[in-house]
Structure 1
Amino acid sequence: MNSGKHTGVEECSASNPGKNAKLDKASILSDATRMLTQLRGETEKLKESNVNLRETIKDLKVEKNELRDEKLSLKAEKERLEQQLKAASAAPTGFAPHMPYPAAFHPAVFPPFAPPYQVPANKGAPVPAAFPGMAMWHWLPPTAMDTTQDPKLWPPNA
């Protein structure tokens, strides 16, 4: 700056480094207007970019929360399946005897060679139950308990 006067030479040389500095007011104002227009355009682009980034952030937050919820539900399902696996792999209770053989056949209950049932006088010898009072279906293989093929394998009783 020269003794309080502002000539605008610095602004012109800064805005157009390849051109000679113009000192008339019209060229200075047109350069300033052009720069302002350019800066406003860049500002609008940056604002649009900012809005787009904020929308992307919102979408990512929603997706993050959905993934967190899915992770929690998968953890709960995993734990439930592990508990079911532990329960299935554990020895079944209620049907399995706790002694080497069932208490119903303990020698103190029945004398040797005595049947655990009363044979009626007019009937032949009934087929003795292997383990009276115990469900035997528990030890059957799943294929033996499958009844889906019964109509094909067995004729209907008329």
Structure 2
Amino acid sequence: MILFWPSCNIVPCNIQYLWCLHCGHIYRGRNESCSGPGSKACREKMRRDKLNDRFADLSSILEPGRPAKTDKTAILGDAIRVLNQLRAESQELKVANEKLQEDIKNLKTEKNELREEKGLLKADKERIEQQMKAMAIVPGGIVPPHPAAYQAGVNKFMAFPSYGGYPMWQYIPPAALDTSQDHVLRPPVA
């Protein structure tokens, strides 16, 4: 940039030079716009303008509600801070995502195990129902045995007519059938 004395009266002497009336010097004149798009100064000015525009865009992106900053070091500092925050958030989300994927895998395994268990329980239920039906139906060709054949159980339990003559003492647990302590626990009534 050319500096002139405040009292200098500049008169263009031709297209490329300026002449100062006060001191008599001749200066090479420059337009505000570049003399040609191919000149080095013009390319450098365009590059700086583009960089300044990019910094202004970056500043407005980093803090959308505030006016754009012009200090490039402050803009770069803000950009570094925001990038570090985003990187930390990304890492936290990655860890949370891995944990959720592991939870999904465990839940799928548990779901499959529950399906298998449900199938086994259904099969057991059907088997038990079939056994109950088989026990409830007395085959037509078989006559129930005479109660005298079960002399060991006759003294303990009487047969009920609704059970079809089958003694039920065989279904009672062995601890309830033990008669060795009956005289102590239940003395005879006179």
TM bucket (normalised to shorter chain) is: 0.5 to 0.7
Using the TM superposition, name which of 2-11 and 76-85 deviates more. Answer: 2-11
Higher relative contact order (CA 8 A, sep 6+): 1
Deviation per CA, 1:102-147: give whole Å up to 9, x if none. Answer: xxxxxxxxxxxxxxxxxxxxxxxxxxxxxxxx83147244259979
Aligned to 1:65: 112
Q: CA deviation at 1:42?
A: 1.0
Select the structure that is richer in strand: 2
2:4 is matched with which residue? none
Could you tell me how far apart the structure 2 residues matched to 1:36 and 1:145 are? 77
Match of 2:165 in 1: 139
In the alignment, which residue of structure 1 is the partner of 2:60? 13
**Correspondent of 1:29 among 53, 71, 76:** 76
Aligned to 1:91: 138
> In structure 2, what residue type is equivalent to 1:135?
P
* Superposition CA RMSD, Å: 3.0
Rounded Cα–Cα distance in structure 1 between residues aligned with 2:101 and 2:171:
61
- The separation in 2 between residues aligned to 1:145 and 1:31, in whole angstroms, is 84
1:40-119 to structure 2, matched below 5 A, reads 40-92=87-139, 95-96=142-143
Number of the residue aligned with 1:108: none
Cα offset for 1:76? 0.8
Scaled by the length of structure 2, what TM-score is found? Answer: 0.51
- Percent identical among aligned pairs is 43
Question: CA offsets per residue over residues 67-101 of structure 1, 9 Å max, x none?
Answer: 111101101101101110110111135532xxxxx
When residues 28 and 144 of structure 1 are mapped into structure 2, their CA distance, relative to the original with a 3 A threshold, is: closer
Could you say which residue in structure 2 is the equivalent of 1:131? none
Question: Between Structure 1 and Structure 2, whose CA radius of gyration is higher?
Answer: 2
Total equivalences in the alignment:
115
TM-score (norm 1): 0.60
Tell me: CA distance 1:145–1:84, structure 2 relative to 1, closer, same or farther (3 Å): closer
Q: Which amino acid aligns with 2:51?
A: H
Shift of 1:18: 3.6
Opposite residue 6 of structure 1, the aligned amino acid is L
